[in-house]
Amino acid sequence: MSASSTPGHSRLTKAHKLSIAGVATLGAAALAFSLVPAGAAQSESQTISAAPVAWTKVVDGAQAQAVQQHLSVQQSVAALQGKKADDAAAVKAKAKAKAEAAAKKARAAKAAASRSANRAPVFANNLDGWIKEALHIMKREGIPGSYAGIHRNVMRESSGNPMAINNWDINARNGIPSKGLLQVIAPTFKAYHVKGTKFDQYDPVANIVAACNYAADRYGSMDNVNSAY
């Protein structure tokens, strides 16, 4: 009788053998995995996961540094542009202030001239007004003399008549008669005529100013004249 026919035993087929081998292999692998220390497994896991984290930090750091440098450059450029703008604004403001000051000065001068013109005195057309107007001009020209001195000599020479003429003295006999309020001869009037007054011996203001100019040159002032001069 053959072994295959022994009662109570069954024959292992090739499929059965492969199944048993597979189970054994899986069992050995499970046993080997269970024998690996827990710390070693954890360390390996940390090593595996640490690499991406470190790489990320490096990349992020480089990006942050690049962004910071870019911002610094932008800030420097903005600061430079701001300074240029401030300088330009300062120059413009200074020029504007200078122009405004010049315009203000010109307006003030114009206003002063206008006020001066408006305040120009108006003199009466009589002896009092003629003497006062003559004194106004004499003050401007630096010619000495007073109202009293002029009035005294006018009354002695012409009695206040601007058209008075002397036809009997030596000057008249020489063909150059004395004329006007202060009886001035033509050569004297011409030599001592003051610019701004009429070139006319009979004009009362021109006559007074020319006579006072002559008296100032010869006697120091019309106030010092007390007789024919």
What digits encode the pLDDT tens for the residues 91-114? 888 899 999 899 999 988 888 777
**Do 131 and 212 fall into the same domain?**
yes
**Do 150 and 68 fall into the same domain?**
no
Lowest mean per-residue pLDDT among 66-75, 80-89, 166-175, 207-216: 66-75
**Do 113 and 84 fall into the same domain?**
yes
pLDDT value of position 39:
46
Own/partner contacts of 216-223, CB < 8 Å, gap of 24 or more, are 216/143, 216/144, 216/145, 217/192, 220/144, 221/144, 221/145, 221/146, 221/149, 222/144, 222/145, 222/146, 222/149, 222/150, 222/153, 223/144, 223/145, 223/146, 223/148, 223/149
**Do 82 and 163 fall into the same domain?**
no
Domain boundaries, position 153 = 127-224
d(CA 72, CA 141) in angstroms, rounded, equals 74
**Do 151 and 108 fall into the same domain?**
no
**Do 60 and 149 fall into the same domain?**
no
Per-residue pLDDT, averaged over 10-24, amounts to: 48
**Do 145 and 204 fall into the same domain?**
yes
Please say which residue of 95, 120, 145 terminates a domain: 120
Q: What is the pLDDT of residues 82-92, one digit of tens each?
A: 888 888 888 88
